[in-house]
Amino acid sequence: MKTDIFLKAIKSRNKLKFLYSLTEIMIEPYYVARDKSGRKVIYGRVRRTNEVRKFEYNKISNIRILNEAKFSPVIPIISHVS
């Protein structure tokens, strides 16, 4: 069920809001994967930061898709090469 919600938000580029270990988080979701331990995770950019974080499925609850303006994924680019 969580995967369906996440994939729908990723495909339509909607932001997500959810509780993560009792902390409210808002992200721009990028992709769903499994970590090295085999646990399902979702990667997304945290609101008002340039940080892309990994969130474990088993700590996520109260997922809501926000129907705000669509977001464009941030692609990190090296500002200069030495």
**What domains appear along the chain, each with residue ranges and CATH number?**
2-66 (2.30.30)
Helix (H) or strand (E) holding 11, with range, is: helix 2-12
What percent of the chain shows pLDDT beyond 70? 85
Structure tokens that stand for 57 in this block: 């499925």
Q: Name the residue among 6, 4, 12 with its Cα closest to residue 43.
A: 6
Q: Are 59 and 6 in contact (CB under 8 A)?
A: no
Q: What percent of the chain shows pLDDT beyond 90? A: 71
Provide the pLDDT confidence category of residue 74 given band limits of 50, 70 and 90. low
